[in-house]
């Protein structure tokens, strides 16, 4: 099945999203599992996850740029939005961090969405 421009937008966003999921797991999940870890154990666990993250991100960014004519800034802003979402999920459900300000997180997310909207309007 050939990739037809305009028909696989959800697939492209899914690829970018999955890249951010694996990045967050590789970068932050060790905070929950850090009992008796040494440097080499952390590398042994993180490097395979980062390779999977790279594969998803690379393909998602390629599709977004070449098939949907997104600029690198557009791709970056979408990726940052996905990072915010994944970090919220990680903080709330996995790390169970109750001492965070949801208003500042919501404001940061709205500013990123605003930047994405403005950058697409001013072309």
Question: Has residue 17 been placed in a domain?
Answer: yes
- Work out the angle between the directed axes of helices 39-68 and 72-89 (0-180°, nearest 10): 140
In a domain, 18, yes or no: yes
Q: Give this prediction's pTM.
A: 0.76
Quick one: CA dihedral 113, 117, 119, 120, positive or negative?
positive
Helix (H, G, I), strand (E, B) or coil at 114: helix
89 domain-assigned: yes
Question: pLDDT tens digits for the chain (123 residues)?
Answer: 565 656 688 889 999 999 999 998 888 766 666 677 787 887 888 889 989 999 999 999 999 998 888 888 889 888 988 988 888 888 778 777 767 677 877 887 888 788 777 877 776
Listed as own residue / partner, the contacts of 108-112 with beta carbons closer than 8 Å and 24 or more positions apart are: 108/84, 109/81, 109/84, 112/77, 112/80, 112/81, 112/84
Q: Does a structural domain hold residue 51?
A: yes
Q: How many domains does the chain have?
A: 1
The alpha helices in the chain, defined as continuous H runs, are 9-28, 39-68, 72-89, 102-121
Which pLDDT score is estimated for 76? 87
């Amino acid at each position: 099945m050939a990739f037809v421009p305009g028909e696989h937008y959800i697939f492209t966003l899914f690829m970018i999203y999955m890249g951010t999921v694996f990045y967050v797991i590789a970068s932050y999940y060790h905070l929950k599992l850090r009992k008796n870890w040494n440097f080499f154990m952390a590398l042994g666990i993180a490097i395979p996850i980062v390779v999977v993250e790279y594969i998803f991100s690379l393909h998602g960014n390629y599709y977004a740029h070449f098939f949907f004519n997104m600029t690198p800034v557009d791709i970056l802003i979408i990726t940052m939005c996905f990072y915010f979402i994944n970090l919220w999920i990680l903080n709330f459900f996995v790390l169970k961090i109750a001492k965070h300000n949801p208003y500042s997180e919501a404001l940061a997310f709205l500013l990123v969405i605003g930047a994405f909207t403005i950058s697409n309007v001013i072309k």
